[in-house]
Chain A
Amino acid sequence: MAAQSPVAYRPMHGFYTLFYKEWLRFWKVSVQTILAPVLTALLYLLVFAHTLRGHIDVYPGVDYTAFLIPGLAMMSVLQNAFANSSSSLMQSKMTGNIVFILLPPLSHREFFSAYLLAAMARGLSVGTGVFLATIWFVHVPLAHPLWAIAFAVAGSGVMGTLGIIGGLHSDKIDQLAAFQNFIILPLTFLSGVFYSIHSLSPFWQALSHLNPIFYMIDGFRYGFFGQGDVSPWLSLAIVAASFLALSLLTLHLIRSGYKLRH
């Protein structure tokens, strides 16, 4: 057990390990982190498709149940990406085991990327699960799969980043719950998951355009039906700009040690 010089550092392995650990963390409790949200989305589909079918105008020639499925899948992607990074950071801070991540020589970029990718992985896993569980109910076309993938990836990135901010900022579970219940949930539910905003009054349509999650849902849905409430390019630009702005803010917060290194 002789004292030795520090062994050679392998670049990227610290990042990979933190990502792997975050992946394992949700995978080990996949009943709770993947299966449960898939079941929730399935229940939404059954209830909303049954009660609203024929009552809401969506896209011309598109069945409401088919319209709902991409919306639910994307909502699940977004909510679970946020939940993963926010709850992991929050729990680590509360239990104190965040120290095991703060002691090693991980850079702020490695820290950010690992938490972000794990959040995206969980969001995309749940979204895929929702999609696979619901497509048996009705035929869902896939007009532009690359658009769908682009919005799923970018949307999960935005929400995973927002989750990191939420986790860093919150000192108590109540604070994180408030972030989730009073910001994320309303923005998600009012983003057009369950309806096309063309069915709304001009005031609510205008308000919906201020909601960045609307562009994620609309762009994702464009990938399936080839039509949306706004241009997919505009949606992608807004989602990409949101991701960039939030990423820069998060990197700054981690680098400065915001609520991590006192």
Chain B
Amino acid sequence: MTTAIHVDRVVKRYGALQALDGVTLEVERGEFFGLLGPNGAGKTTLISILAGVTLATSGSARVMGHDVVTEYRQARRSLGVVPQELVFDPFFTVRETLTIQSGYYGLRNNRAWIDEVIEHLDLTEKADTNMRALSGGMKRRVLVAQALVHKPPVIVLDEPTAGVDVELRKALWTFIRRLNRDGHTIVLTTHYLEEAEALCGRIAMLKQGRIVALDTTRNLLDMQGGCYVDVRLDPARLPESLAPRVVEHENGGTWRLALRDYAELEDVLAALRGAGVRVQELEVVQRDLEEVFVRIMSGH
């Protein structure tokens, strides 16, 4: 079975700027895949190449087995893209916008599906409202709906929750999760790393146009290894033997200590008991994707 997305040694240069420097990756069908990186890392350029909006300087890209240049019709029919920018056509209502977008894909009499998308994205009340009159959050929903009108098997969301309130963000993720459960391949870029950690099964990290990490989310988290333990001590004195573990220290008698694994917690407690120090508060804190991200980005 062909992969949902296949990117092979893609290079993109804008004059002297190297936006992508030989990116190669594959996304399997049905995956929830994250594409992370700082601003200017090349995430949007890569998405634009997949969508055919940007032409690669060299290399090739395929969507559902179709080359995005030579088989652009099939490739674009297989792909739905939610752009990062909040763009809209001010001449049309929500329903007109979706009907027109559906028509561009060659679909006639697509009203039933459009109604379903409108309903799922909670746009029913605004269906006949002009796009200009919608709030930013509603416009974002319409962008998602536009990406879905032709029922694409692969959906790419380029920072879909940027500037979106918490309620809409949750609703959006519930909807996207459902699409993924139903078999759609999802590719997500986001600056909210906790979102990527919670949603994505696999993650690629881009830096200066290169992939610097590509693994399952679990492996990336494990790669960082261990966890932390936050302790408040009485008296506020840390035994000398635990000093190498200190990550943070607050004057109120609270320390954050690094552990390679949970088993080391017993060693820490034993050291504290041995020094006659009582633990007033204790909390084990997992390392998160943000830390992994920062470490990987600073390491390359």
Interface residues of A (CB under 8 A from B): 1-11, 13-14, 16-18, 20-21, 24-25, 28-29, 92, 95-97, 99-107, 257, 261-262
Contact = CB atoms under 8 A, between A and B. Distances in A.
A18 B101 CA distance: 9
A1 B179 contact: yes
Nearest to B45: A262
Contacts of A28: 91
A101 B179 contact: no
Interface string B161-181: 000000000000000001100
B82 to A, nearest CB: 10
B77 interface: yes
Interface residues of B, number: 47
Given A103-B76, A261-B54, A14 B151 contact: no
A103 B146 CA distance: 11
B289 to A, nearest CB: 27
A10 B106 contact: yes
Interface string B86-99: 01111110001000
A29 B130 CA distance: 14
A100 B106 contact: no
Q: List 3 A-B pairs, minimum CB-CB distance, nearest first.
A: A17-B103, A3-B183, A104-B104
Contacts of B179: 1, 3
8 contacts: A13-B103, A18-B103, A21-B92, A25-B91, A97-B87, A100-B87, A104-B101, A262-B55
Given A104-B76, A261-B54, A99 B87 contact: yes
B83 interface: yes
Interface of B: 14, 30, 48, 51-55, 72-79, 81, 83, 85, 87-92, 96, 100-101, 103-108, 116, 120, 146, 150-153, 178-179, 182-185
Contacts of A29: 91
Given A7-B107, A97-B88, A103-B52, A21 B100 contact: yes
Q: Which residue, A3, A7, A101, has most C-beta atoms of chain B within 10 A?
A: A3
A81 to B, nearest CB: 19
Contacts of B152: 6
Given A16-B103, A100-B104, A261-B54, A105 B183 contact: no
A7 B103 contact: no
Nearest to B72: A105
A27 B100 CA distance: 16
A14 B53 contact: no
Contacts of B146: 100
Nearest to A28: B91
A24 B153 contact: no
Contacts of A1: 116, 120, 178-179, 182
B202 to A, nearest CB: 18
A13 B108 contact: yes
A193 B185 CA distance: 60
B153 A102 contact: no
A24 B91 contact: yes
A9 B53 contact: no
B89 A97 contact: yes
Contact of A96 (B14, B85, B120, B151): B85
A9 B73 contact: yes
A68 B139 CA distance: 49
A14 B105 contact: yes
B205 to A, nearest CB: 24
Given A3-B30, A10-B107, A99-B83, 9 more contacts: A3-B183, A6-B74, A9-B73, A10-B106, A92-B89, A96-B85, A100-B104, A105-B106, A262-B48
A106 B48 CA distance: 16
Contacts of A17: 100, 103-104
A31 B55 CA distance: 40
B27 to A, nearest CB: 14
B63 to A, nearest CB: 11
A257 to B, nearest CB: 6
A21 B55 CA distance: 26
Contacts of B76: 103-105
B284 to A, nearest CB: 39
